Structure 1
């Protein structure tokens, strides 16, 4: 066995993310299981109240996942066949799939190469008489310019459905994402900053829309007394259980600690990567780091864009080499317009060239609160060492 192989056997693997649940959370889940009430019940109500408090008293309803939240937001906004919704091509495909699922048409606007979010300066030219809503995505938790976003919405009389799946804990000029705005959708999936394992929530401007969302959440049902009910809209089965809700309650208590740790790790990434590039004499390499924003973003992910045009390698090989060194990575995300479903619908990658480039080059590095400080140095050294190996001479 080589020294390299021996080192890999004794060096812990670093996944690109790992959720954290403390003992109090585990005990609380056990208590719910013993209670006999494990589906939607008192813990869900408590969680929704806690979230409403967090968002400054705005109505909040929870759902089984972050895909359901976006679909129900579209339904609440009355969006359906014949309508267009403007969104970004760099997101998890759920963002555009839910638009299709209500019979509407996604309209993709290219991204800003620096923020990697939808380029709001290009949105106005994509608006048509059929446009009903804007659906921005806050990649890695970094919000778009909210003043510009809502200025566009007001000018063109559009609803805004914020896909803030990755942005729980993010801010815009000191105001919580979700504490302002129109319909704001969050995901609580396992890799999110606040996790209920699976789940999500919607933040509303009115109690009336929140009550309508409750109907869509559970088969369109309205109870009318102890023995009567009615169904007046077509709903689904998208309720969150008390087991998930109690996890969320405890995660909410730990959120400030999680946020501080993520920010500290992100700062170390900037320092370590720049230091390694300098030490390797690779300052001229066009490795694109994220926006260095420590006031608005929640540092859900730390992503770099690889300078593939300067390397004699593709992204898959870089990921494989990192894995061989005990480092997990992810791809968030390939451009949606490159998927077969969307190509068959007539979309073309070339319509959004910046998203096309970013989508084939972006790489997600490990970032989660349980990481050790020394993990950052190890990852930075490994990444830069691989880039040096493949850099064009």
Structure 2
């Protein structure tokens, strides 16, 4: 039975408060709306958040990964190992710098790169590793960096979804090698569009600055030089002001998301969907920032497709997403030699995952509505009732 009286519940909703809106208005009135003092303040507060490491802000979390690869010296002839379960940007930037993406399957339980397979994928051409923290849950960082050190490899962390996540009590970004964050509108901390790169020292930070804006260095009033091939990746002060407002609430945002995730687990416990085999995410409340709550559908037990399932939820006023299809099955990557069957865990997850609504403004009643709807749909379409 569909329900249309409730307001539509999207799977994500940015949390931008009135103080931030007023701050954006002040920036617009200031006359300095491109990269300037707000950007500098945003970088300073990001740096403080990750323990004082140098940080540079950019206009996307995609260019931060590309620039991270360039700073790490990755280029033509090199291989970079990443996971088959990620958004295409992770592998696209490897191709952009002239290197070859090498994919490995995921651990079916944690949904991140299988580190056993990572070790087997290393060759003499491997230059770097790009782990992805799906849904905000980090990989085993101790083991990851032990592997990297043993093979003298750079690590560019695709931590796009992991701002506010941690490992053994240390924030992601506060340790490790190069760390790339995204502040897209669907992220826990947002600047609408944007990203940041955490760097190891001031030399890397200066190189990142050059890559961000055409490779230009200015001295005095009229001195100017270009000594690297940069691009146009700077973050506006308007976006930086949005990011500052969001960053200052990150602790409360993370806590609320954890509370909502727990409500999901409690509501699903013993219900029709779980009994049919609905897969729930890893219950990691120590390290994850709960950027997403992703379930996997027991499609072999249901007489409907994933699209039909999502359509029925939409009829009940519930928005959903898919994060993500298996990377290697996109046409671009099939044309590069990847084939179905190469990464079975990523393929299964990619074909069955559904992202449920999770954002701080949600209520316990919203969670109950989502879970009740899923239980009803699964019970109605269970194959034993077909």
* TM-score between both structures, scaled by the size of structure 2: 0.98
8 Å Cα contact 2:268/2:274 also seen in 1? no
Structure 1 segment 347-358 matched on structure 2, within 5 A: 347-358=338-349
2: CA distance, partners of 1:82 / 1:389: 54
Counterpart for residue 64 of structure 1: 59
Deviation at 1:349, TM superposition (A): 2.7
Structure 1 segment 27-46 matched on structure 2, within 5 A: 27-46=22-41
2:139 is the counterpart of 1:148: no
Q: What secondary structure sits across from 2:160 in the alignment?
A: coil
Deviation at 1:135, TM superposition (A): 0.2
Deviations 1:177-231 (A, max 9, x none): 0001100000000000000000000001111011001111000111132101111
Counterpart for residue 238 of structure 1: 233
After superposing the two structures, state which structure 1 stretch, 248-257 or 72-81, moved more.
248-257
2:161 is the counterpart of 1:166: yes
Q: Say which of 72, 81, 84 aligns to 2:76.
A: 81
Counterpart for residue 16 of structure 1: 11
2: CA distance, partners of 1:120 / 1:306: 25
2: CA distance, partners of 1:250 / 1:363: 30
Counterpart for residue 290 of structure 1: 281
1: CA distance, partners of 2:297 / 2:62: 29
Shift in alpha-carbon separation, 1:283–1:209, aligned structure 2, 3 A: closer
2: CA distance, partners of 1:94 / 1:319: 25
Structure 1 segment 373-384 matched on structure 2, within 5 A: 373-384=364-375
Q: Say which of 284, 296, 316 aligns to 2:307.
A: 316
2: CA distance, partners of 1:316 / 1:389: 16
Gaps of 5+ in 2: none
Q: Say which of 327, 330, 334 aligns to 2:318.
A: 327
Gaps of 5+ in 1: none
Deviations 1:324-362 (A, max 9, x none): 111000000000101001111111131111101110001
2: CA distance, partners of 1:43 / 1:349: 47
Structure 1 segment 212-361 matched on structure 2, within 5 A: 212-275=207-270, 277=271, 280=272, 284-361=275-352
2: CA distance, partners of 1:283 / 1:249: 40
Segments of 4+ in structure 1 off by > 6 A? none
Deviation at 1:38, TM superposition (A): 0.3
* TM-score between both structures, scaled by the size of structure 1: 0.96
8 Å Cα contact 1:335/1:349 also seen in 2? no
Counterpart for residue 128 of structure 2: 133
Deviations 1:217-268 (A, max 9, x none): 0001111321011111111000001111111111111111111110110000
Deviation at 1:283, TM superposition (A): 5.2
Deviation at 1:310, TM superposition (A): 1.6
2: CA distance, partners of 1:203 / 1:220: 19
Cα RMSD, aligned residues only: 1.0
- Count of aligned pairs between the two proteins: 384
Q: What secondary structure sits across from 2:25 in the alignment?
A: helix
Counterpart for residue 182 of structure 2: 187
Q: What secondary structure sits across from 2:190 in the alignment?
A: coil
